[in-house]
Structure 1
Amino acid sequence: MAFDKNILAGRIVDDNTWWEDDRIPFYDEFSKRRYYHGFFELVSQKFPHRAVVLMGPRRIGKTVIMYQAIQDLIDQGVNPKNIFYFSLDTPIYTNVPLEELISYGLEINKVSIEESYIFFDEIQYLKNWEIHLKSLVDRNRKSKFIASGSAAAALRMKSIESGAGRFTDYFLPPLTFAEYIDLNGYDDLLSETEVDFGGPRRFYECSDIERFNNHFIDYINFGGFPEIALNSDKVKNPERVIQKDITDKVIMKDLPGLFGIENTLELQQFFNVLSYRTGEILDYKKVSQETKTDNKTIKKYIKYLEAAFLIKVLHRVDLTAKRFKNITQFKIYLTNPSLFTGLFGRVTDGDERFPHLVETAVYAQYLHREHEFLRYANWKTGKDEGEVDLIQISNNYQDVHWAVEIKWSDNPKAGKLKQFMSKNNLTKGVITSKTKFEDFEDLLIVPNSIYAYVVSKNALRKLDDEIF
Structure 2
Amino acid sequence: MAIVTPDNILKLLYSYNPWWRNGKIPGDFVKPVKRIAYYEAMKMFVHPELRRFVILSGARRVGKTTILYQIIETLLKKGIEPRKIIYISFDHPLLKFCSLDDIIEIYETNISSSEDAYLFFDEIQYAPDWGNWLKVYYDTKPNWRVVATGSASPVLVQGASESGVGRWTVLHVPTLSFYEYCELLNIESKLTEIVNDILELNRLSKYEINNIMNAVSPLQRYFNRYLIVGGFPELALSKDDFFAQRILREDVVDKVLKRDIPSLFNIRNASVLEKVFLYLCFNSSNIINISTMSKELDNIPSATLSNYIEYLERANLIYISYPVSLDGKQILKAKPKIYIADAAIRSAVLMLDNVLFEPEEMGIMVETTVYKHLVSYYNRVRAKIGYYRKTGGTQKEVDAVVELPQGKVLFEVKYRENPVIKESDAIIEMSKNSSEAVGSFIITKKAEDYGKLPVDAKVPVMRIPAFAFLYILGYLEKIKFACN
User: Structure 2 length as normaliser, TM-score?
Assistant: 0.88
Letter in 2 for 1:437: Y
Correspondence for 1:412 among 410, 416, 420: 420
Question: Contact 2:52/2:169 (CA < 8 Å) preserved in 1?
Answer: yes
Shift of 1:348: 3.0
The 5 A counterparts of 1:443-458 are 443-458=461-476
Distance 2:14 2:93 in 1: 16
Paired residues, what number?
455
Question: Contact 2:117/2:144 (CA < 8 Å) preserved in 1?
Answer: yes
Distance 2:133 2:316 in 1: 24
Shift of 1:299: 0.5
Question: Contact 2:16/2:88 (CA < 8 Å) preserved in 1?
Answer: yes
Matched, 1:388 2:388: no
Distance 2:95 2:181 in 1: 35
The 5 A counterparts of 1:2-401 are 2-25=3-26, 26-109=28-111, 111-188=112-189, 197-198=202-203, 204-206=212-214, 209=217, 212-229=219-236, 231-233=237-239, 237-292=243-298, 293-320=300-327, 322-327=329-334, 329-345=335-351, 346-351=353-358, 352-368=360-376, 369-370=378-379, 371-382=382-393, 384-394=394-404, 400-401=407-408
Which runs of 5 or more residues in structure 2 are unaligned?
Answer: 455-459
Shift of 1:73: 0.3
Q: Secondary structure at the match of 1:145?
A: strand
Question: Contact 2:44/2:51 (CA < 8 Å) preserved in 1?
Answer: no
Change in 2 beyond 3 A, CA 1:318/1:140:
closer
Which runs of 5 or more residues in structure 1 are unaligned?
Answer: 464-468
Change in 2 beyond 3 A, CA 1:325/1:380:
closer
Q: 2:457 is matched with which residue?
A: none
Q: Secondary structure at the match of 1:47?
A: coil
Letter in 2 for 1:446: I
Distance 2:166 2:215 in 1: 49
User: Structure 1 length as normaliser, TM-score?
Assistant: 0.90
**Residue-by-residue CA offset, 1:178-205 (whole Å, 9 max, x unaligned):** 1012222223375777775246698631
Percent sequence identity over aligned pairs: 27
Shift of 1:321: 5.6
**Residue-by-residue CA offset, 1:357-382 (whole Å, 9 max, x unaligned):** 11000111123233211111111323
Question: Contact 2:324/2:401 (CA < 8 Å) preserved in 1?
Answer: no
Question: Contact 1:400/1:424 (CA < 8 Å) preserved in 2?
Answer: no
Distance 1:344 1:134 in 2: 42
Shift of 1:206: 4.0
Shift of 1:168: 2.2
Change in 2 beyond 3 A, CA 1:437/1:260:
same
Shift of 1:319: 4.9
**Residue-by-residue CA offset, 1:388-424 (whole Å, 9 max, x unaligned):** 11111257xxx74211111112323143211112231
**Residue-by-residue CA offset, 1:412-444 (whole Å, 9 max, x unaligned):** 314321111223134652111111112346321
Question: Contact 1:341/1:347 (CA < 8 Å) preserved in 2?
Answer: no
Distance 2:47 2:139 in 1: 16
Distance 1:148 1:131 in 2: 16
The more displaced of 67-76 and 144-153 is 144-153
**Residue-by-residue CA offset, 1:60-94 (whole Å, 9 max, x unaligned):** 01111101111110110100011011101111111
Distance 1:428 1:30 in 2: 37
More helix by share: 2
Letter in 2 for 1:294: P
Change in 2 beyond 3 A, CA 1:319/1:236:
closer
Question: Contact 1:389/1:405 (CA < 8 Å) preserved in 2?
Answer: yes
Question: Contact 2:285/2:367 (CA < 8 Å) preserved in 1?
Answer: yes
Matched, 1:402 2:409: yes
